[in-house]
Structure 1
Amino acid sequence: MQTPFKLSLQRPGWSAVLDYYLFFFYFSGITHILLQISGATIFVGLRQAIVMSLLWLIPVMLLPRYARKLAAGIGLVLWGFSLVSLGYFCIYGQEFSQSVMFTIFESNPAESSEFIAHYFVWWMIPVLLLHSAVAYWLWHRLGRVQVSRRAAWTVSLLILTLLFVQPMFKQLVIKRAGLDTAVEKLQLRMEPAVPWQMVIGYMHYRKQLANMEALLEQNNKVPPLNALQDTNAGQPATLVLVLGESTNRERMSLYGYPRKTTPRLDAMREQLSVFENVVTSRPYTIESLTQVLSFADQEHPDLYLTKPSLMNMMRQADYKSYWITNHQTITKRNTMLTNFSKQTDRQFYMNNSRAQNSREYDANVFAPFEEVLADPAPRKFIVVHLLGTHMKYEYRYPAEFNVFRGRAGVPSVLDDDEAEVYNSYDNAVLYNDYVMSTLINTLRERAPNSLLVYFSDHGEDVYDGPDHDMLGRNESKPTLPMYTVPFIIWASEQWKSHHDMNFESMLQRPYSNAHFIYTWADLAGLSFDGFDPQFSLINSQFKEHPLLIGNPNQPDTLHILDLHDH
């Protein structure tokens, strides 16, 4: 009588299958385990690598006679890809991503060679040899697969259901997403595992590159500003725009927060113009900065397609322009920003992490910032885009900035986990203070005639409201901390000696960064046909306008932000 089919790992056949699984998982898992040990990123990548490694069991179980040969062939492919993945981690402490591909492929050959050369430092040889030896040992101990055909087919179908059918069903049927969205979500699930890390990463890179090139081509067709005039024409100058991330001014001691989260900026307050009532129009990076860096605003959201960007304007004014970013580059969400960056003369992409929730500190921007300041070009326009205080906050600062701990200064209604998040956000603000003060001091030392403007793309609600129950941003449920951003201007003594920088009477003006291009033009001494002084925060003809928030593509959602509503 035939024994009923049971899925039991105690049976010898399933023990062998487990050995095969460990062999396949090793190639993806080793790097993800190291990422977890180092605290470089969140658990999601490792989880997906664990799941996706099941895929390679299917041919082994269905063709048991050739199991070891199949494992050897598949293993050689996975080994080759894992060498790159592990090598990249050993050098940079991060996960290989499509942003790395962008950096390599979009650089000139000399820069690409220099970048790739980082993989081949001497100590990498024993590391990769050890990695290969462990892989061979795992393969050498593989035995015969002895499971019934019925069991093999059943488990194979379960694996296919888990990996492909269930995710597609969830997207297409439960969430009613389109096929493209469902496929994209599936690819994102696969991407943490080798070889998909590079195969899908390359596919996404090519797709987003095509999108970016289409945007650039469209931008190249935009006519220049008419009758551009520059009161500083021909004069050496360095103008710096620092774009922060997710920083709510209400959590900065510079703006009255009781915890000393900005001690360095506090110390130089007399050198700063600190504007008190500037807000963002959208609580999301791309949507906000598309308006900040162009003539688009809440009432005219598509003007970025037909009118020059801020980068175009500065190039037309004969500034050599640079973009230094600690954000990811060629991802679906960041393609618009990469398009903006490509409108400058030179770019520095300092963050090649696959996952946003990875440790990349904003000190990354210091070296390229100093390099740019050393450039002999007399007129420079520099954009520095920081990761700032982006969630997850504990990944935004090194250990020495873990200053705020415990319950002191934390709303009493928060539980211990919420208090930890609250503290980590303040620590991220503290580190951001260090980054900003360092940039200002470096600029003061290296560029005698210089100006710097800093603000955040949007704010963040980290249990700040009256009920202390909101974490993050949600445009459909807006709260004031999502929109209140710092806005700071610093100028060198030489710049101030030739420009009126007395903004004392203007610091309380309510202002939306959706109109920032007019303020920047005013600061830089630029005028042109269509320049409207009433939209410039620092102009004597400034007029207060409604602070519109909401999605401009859904006009019925637009409404006025009340700065006194907390």
Structure 2
Amino acid sequence: MLQLSWFQFTLLNSILITLLNFNLFAFAYKNLESFWLVLGFIFGYFALIHMILSLIFVKYFSKFFSIFFIFCASLSAYFMYFYGILIDTDMVQNVAQVDMKEIKDLLNARLLVVIFLIFLFCILVFKIRIVTQKSILKQMGIKFLNVFLSLVLFLMIFLPLTKTYIPFFRNHKEIRMFNVPFYQIYALLRYYERFLKPKPEFKILSYDAFKEDNTTKKLLILVVGETARAQNYSLGTYKNNDTNAYTKKDKVVFFSHFYSCGTSTAISLPCMFSVNKRKDFSSKEFAENALDFLQKTGVNVSWYDNNSGGCKGVCDRIADKKFFDANYDEILLKELESKLQNLGTQNIIVLHLQGSHGPTYYKRYPENFKHFTPTCDTNKLELCSHEALINTYDNTLLYTDYILSQIIALLRDKKDYESAMIYLSDHGESLGENGIYLHSMPYAIAPKNQIHIPFIFWSNHSSLNEKLSQKKDLEFSQDNLFSTLLGYFGVWSSFYENELDLFSSKENP
């Protein structure tokens, strides 16, 4: 019987899985166009895989994981290489619905050889005797030494090159689909979630919601930005560039300490409309949100979206919704102008911007908004100086500021309505501080730049402006939005919390 130590067995599997990812490395080489960057990527990937396997290869399960991973990785790599397919959830669904005729069409000598080699590997793994230390403490020491050294190797490779690798991964999100067998396992789990797992019952929460005043004409424009961080707002303390040259003239109220619910749109967008606070929110929620409450109590709700990620389920039950794929957010102004000609008595219109979405910041504003130079006119951030990167990002904020000023101008013309505009971003952004770029870091360790967001308010009613001005230096978060939206329209519900409503007379959140 073949005998290997636990370390040798784990190392062998790490090498095999790394080798089976030749499609992944070929994709990286094609797009990175640098042998040394790809070589670093390969070694970094190996270190990451070895760290993962060191953690999950435990007694009685090591052989199972070995066979399962190599089986999935081998078949996935085969079909990706010879047929050019990527195995995602839809492909898993196709496989689940395949019939015998289609299976026979796929069979050939080449595939049979691959299956035979996998079968031989399985037999080999079964015959291997994995030798572990008799002392549990020694075995745990070996395991965690492997984890630690692998992590150190990964960080030594990755951290000095974050300016290249992070934008590369963001620009080429499809690269994750080449990661065998892990993406395919993820696709299998997603298939289960979408098609096999029993659907949760949609939770109706607005049973007791009511609104007494249905006659006062109200209009609220809620602008949800993308990837804007408060640090770069000249309405605050930012001095490098005047990123709010337009709204400064409108005497808006800028909240200096406002924080997001998450560090990505997928979390923050549904969270800010949820009845739950950040600490209780789950991305698996399937329940009514603030817009449902407003809609059910007689408020006309509209959602206009120019963000490639869509509304993340928030607008699913709204009838008046439109999605755009325009280069610039001004497309939403045209839609808003049209909508303002056909309003109900009480209205909320949500505009979801593409804002400052990176790393292609230079694509987020027209040429005439290229005010701050030099700029970083590429998605390869490593080619740009920090100054150029900041200038480019600031140009995106200036363009968004122009959009907001145009919205305010439109609202000024609606003199027969109590009108207001709220702008807030979904999350912030890192621009190279401490070697970190973009966003989506775990909230617990995310830098302040990724969670400290702008919040701007304007109204044609001076009393509302004054009331919010008194609170602008207090600390708030997206947890306040649910009750604030209900409060603006005078909607009461057991989920409404007066102390979180920015329009209430409470001085503290």
Work out whether the TM-score is over 0.5. yes
Is the 2:177–2:183 contact (alpha carbons within 8 Å) kept by the matching residues of 1? no
Matched residue type, 1:367: K
Rounded to whole Å, the distance in 2 between the matches of 1:491 and 1:366 is: 18
**Residues 111-122 of structure 1 correspond to what in structure 2 (within 5 A)?**
none
Judge conservation of contact 1:236–1:379 (CA < 8 Å) in 2.
Answer: yes
- Structure 1 segment 290-301 matched on structure 2, within 5 A: 290-301=270-281
Deviation of 1:261 (Å) = 1.3
Q: Give the deviation of 1:398 after TM superposition.
A: 1.3
Instruction: Give the equivalent residue in structure 2 for 1:516.
Output: 481
Map of 1:181 onto structure 2 = 187
Residue 223 (structure 1) shift: 4.1
Q: Is the 8 A contact 1:279 1:483 kept in 2?
A: yes
Which one of the candidate residues 541, 547, 551 is aligned to 2:506?
541
Check if 1:425 corresponds to 2:406: no
Aligned to 1:375: 342
CA distance in 2, matches of 1:340, 1:435: 23
Name the aligned partner's letter for residue 274 of structure 1.
Answer: F
1:529-550 deviation per Cα after TM superposition (whole angstroms, max 9, x unaligned)? 2422222234333545xxxxxx
1:241 aligns with 2:215: no
> Aligned residue for 1:470?
436
Matches within 5 A, 1:317-336: 317-328=297-308, 334=310
State the shift of 1:250 in Å.
1.2
Where in structure 2 are the equivalents of 1:409-424 lying within 5 Å?
Answer: 416-424=384-392
Runs of 5+ unmatched residues, structure 1: 1-51, 58-97, 99-152, 158-165, 185-203, 352-358, 408-413, 545-566
Query: Pick from 180, 184, 188: which aligns with 1:171?
Result: 180
Matched, 1:345 2:319: yes
The alpha-carbon distance between structure 1 residues 318 and 419, as it changes in their structure 2 partners (threshold 3 A), is same
Q: Report deviation, 1:168.
A: 7.7
Cα-to-partner distance string for 1:36-64 (whole Å, 9 max, x where unaligned): xxxxxxxxxxxxxxxx999789xxxxxxx
Structure 2: distance between partners of 1:298 and 1:261: 29
Within 5 Å, which residues of 2 pair with 1:210-229?
218-219=201-202, 221-229=203-211
Contact 1:238 1:380 in 2 (8 A): yes
Distance verdict in 2 for CA 1:225–1:277, change over 3 Å: farther
Residue of structure 2 equivalent to 1:313: 293
The offset of 1:306, in angstroms, is 6.7
Letter of the structure 2 residue corresponding to residue 224 of structure 1: S
- 2:496 is aligned, of 518, 531, 544, to 531
Aligned-partner SS, 2:351: strand
For normalisation by structure 2, the TM-score amounts to: 0.58
1:263 paired residue number = 245
1:250 — aligned with what?
A: 231
Counterparts in 2 of 1:400-411, with a 5 A limit?
400-406=368-374
Q: Which residue of 2 aligns with 1:161?
A: none
Aligned length: 336
Give 1:518 deviation, angstroms: 1.1
Question: Structure 1 CA distance, aligned partners of 2:338 and 2:254?
Answer: 28
Distance 1:302 1:416 in 2: 38
Identity %: 20
3-state SS, counterpart of residue 303 of structure 2:
strand
Q: 2:205 and 2:339 mapped to 1: Cα distance? A: 28
Distance 1:508 1:285, change over 3 A: same
Single out whichever of 235-244 and 534-543 deviates more from structure 2: 534-543
Q: Partners in 1 of 2:489 and 2:466 — Cα distance?
A: 12
Amino acid at match of 1:528: S
User: What is the alpha-carbon root mean square deviation over aligned residues?
Assistant: 3.8
What does the per-residue CA deviation read over 1:356-391, in whole Å, with 9 as the maximum and x for residues that have no partner?
A: xxx721112111111111114222211110111111
TM-score (norm 1): 0.53
Runs of 5+ in structure 2 lacking a partner? 1-78, 85-89, 91-109, 115-174, 376-381
Instruction: Note closer, same or farther for the CA distance 1:506–1:223 as it changes in structure 2 (3 Å cut).
Output: closer
Equivalent residues of 1:518, 1:536 under 8 A apart: yes
Aligned letter for 1:389?
S
Asked if the contact 2:425–2:454 (Cα under 8 Å) also holds between the matched residues in 1, the reply is yes
Please give the residue correspondences for 1:56-205 in structure 2 after superposition, counting only pairs within 5 Å.
170-172=179-181, 176-181=182-187
CA distance in 1, matches of 2:322, 2:177: 38
Structure 2 match to 1:460: 429
Q: Match of 2:347, as an amino acid? A: K
CA distance in 1, matches of 2:308, 2:298: 28
Relative to 1, partners in 2 of residues 1:55 and 1:419: Cα closer, same or farther, differing over 3 Å? Answer: farther
Letter in 1 for 2:222: L
Partner Cα distance (1:321, 1:168) in 2: 37
1:181/1:461 CA distance change after superposition, 3 Å: same
- 1:339 is aligned with what amino acid? G
> CA separation in 2, counterparts of 1:56 and 1:168?
15
Counterparts of 1:398 and 1:169 in 2: how far apart (Å)?
Answer: 35
Q: Take 2:177 and 2:330, find their aligned partners in 1: how far apart are those partners?
A: 41
Q: Separation in 1 of the partners of 2:226 and 2:176?
A: 32
CA drift at 1:244: 0.6
Matching residue of 1:91 = none
**Which one-letter code corresponds to 1:266 in the other structure?**
K
Residues 468, 502 of structure 2: 8 Å contact kept = no
